Copies of this chain bind each other. A is one copy, B any other.
Amino acid sequence: MNSMYEVIMDLPLFQGVSRDKVSELIEKTRFHFLKYKEGEVIAEAGDLCQHIRFIISGSVRLEFSSINKSVTLSEVLYSPNVIGADYLFGRDTIYPFTAYSASDCGILQIEKSDYIRILQSDKVFLFNLLNTLSRNSQKSVQGILALSTGSLAERLAFFIVSLTQRGGKEIKLAYVQKDLCTLLGVQRSSLISTLTSLKVSGTIEFTQSEILVKDRELMFEILHSPED
């Protein structure tokens, strides 16, 4: 039972509450523990978000597709983490990304109605969610206000940072080169030249169809922006 406590107290939205409160939670809430094999889909882009889902072991890749589908940005989240807390409420409660297990992983799933009861049961749970949502909502404004040069490197960094989250690892932009050029509004030669200089500075690796971001922090430095 001890490990159950620890698992729960470690989760982003359940931090900071007393052991007693967690006991109560364990007693009163229907927790669904699910196992996924590497590569299995956990939630698909367009699915209704009706559960809050936590990664309690292993890792999950979130993949966003741009409007033309030939540019996708993805990142890996490791346990303990939460998947798409921003999509439980709002006008469109659908996932904008596909989430699939990046390794064998364990997911703790709680129904929205149960999670709402949790939010109402203790201020700390409520604040955790309000802080998370507010932070995400503020992020885009801060990112835009940090734009300064309009350079291709800056635009690329903005795109990557905006679609990924703090702690996101193994960030990968997969693309058809001509479509990435269109999306960014540049010629192929400018793209290659910018990617080459980002590679030289140790920020990314790239091939003809993929950019690997070495560290999300380095993207922030391009934006001259404080971490989100």
Contact = CB atoms under 8 A, between A and B. Distances in A.
A185 B151 contact: yes
Contacts of A96: 138, 141-142, 145
Contact of A126 (B90, B126, B144, B146): B126
A68 to B, nearest CB: 6
Number of this chain's copies in the assembly equals 2
Chain A: interface size category: 35 or more
A116 B123 contact: yes
Interface string A181-195: 111111000000000
Contact of A119 (B66, B126, B131, B150): B126
A142 B136 CA distance: 13
A131 B91 contact: yes
A87 B130 CA distance: 10
A183 to B, nearest CB: 5
A138 B131 CA distance: 15
A148 B68 contact: yes
A135 B65 CA distance: 20
Interface in A101-158: 116, 119-120, 123, 126-127, 129-131, 133-152, 154-155
A86 B152 contact: no
A89 interface: yes
Nearest to A68: B148
B89 A130 contact: yes
Contacts of A28: none
A146 B68 CA distance: 9
B66 A147 contact: yes
A21 interface: no
A93 B148 CA distance: 23
A66 B148 contact: yes
Contacts of A32: none
A47 interface: no
14 contacts: A66-B145, A86-B137, A87-B138, A88-B134, A89-B133, A90-B137, A92-B138, A96-B142, A130-B130, A137-B137, A141-B162, A141-B163, A144-B162, A148-B183
